[in-house]
Amino acid sequence: MSWTEEIKWNSDGLVPAIAQAHDSGRLLTLAWMNRDALIATVAENRAVYWSRSRQKLWRKGEQSGHIQQLKEIRLDCDADAILLSIEQVGGIACHTGRASCFYRVYADGCWVNADPIIKDPDDIYGRSL
């Protein structure tokens, strides 16, 4: 059995992939991988995801330069989620210009932005998001 066949892919052929900073353990992002993305991640030693909106492989940082260099891949006990231990180049994982996509904190019935924008997305991508 191939190592990718051990993964429980969902009905769309995807598995959630959590990117975690190798040095600090901070959770950076949640994205999706198909089999090709996972194989490319291993081959290229960097995070490659499946973009559900664009319906194509998405190499993290291909536009921003904020790539995720792979340190380790783990598969959870149910074989239905992947954890990527990565080095986040440039310190920005989120397209909003923040260190992590998990920048909102629930407080008193609403979501509050708790983390600062490190770099304006207009400066990263050359356009407004």
Predicted local distance difference test score (pLDDT) of residue 127? 63
Which CATH topology does 3-125 take? Ubiquitin-like (UB roll) (3.10.20)
Amino acid code (one letter) for 59? R
Q: Does an H or E element contain 40, and which?
A: helix 35-44
Paired sense of beta strands 68-75 and 82-88, if any: antiparallel
- 43 DSSP 8-state letter: H
CA-to-CA distance for 84 and 37, rounded, in angstroms? 13
**CB of 84 closer than 8 Å to CB of 18:** yes
* Model pTM score: 0.91
Q: pLDDT tens-digit profile of 47-102?
A: 999 999 999 999 999 999 999 999 999 999 999 999 999 999 999 999 999 999 99
Q: Which residues pair with 51 in a beta bridge?
A: 56
pLDDT at 129 over 60: no
Predicted local distance difference test score (pLDDT) of residue 1? 76
Q: pLDDT tens-digit profile of 15-58?
A: 999 999 999 999 999 999 999 999 999 999 999 999 999 999 99
pLDDT at 104 over 60: yes
User: What are the start-end ranges of the E strands in 4-129?
Assistant: 15-21, 27-33, 48-51, 56-59, 68-75, 82-88, 104-107, 110-113
What b-and-e string marks burial along 14-43, b requiring 16 or more CB atoms within 10 Å of the CB? bbebbbbbbeeeeebbebbbbbebbebbee
Predicted local distance difference test score (pLDDT) of residue 128? 54
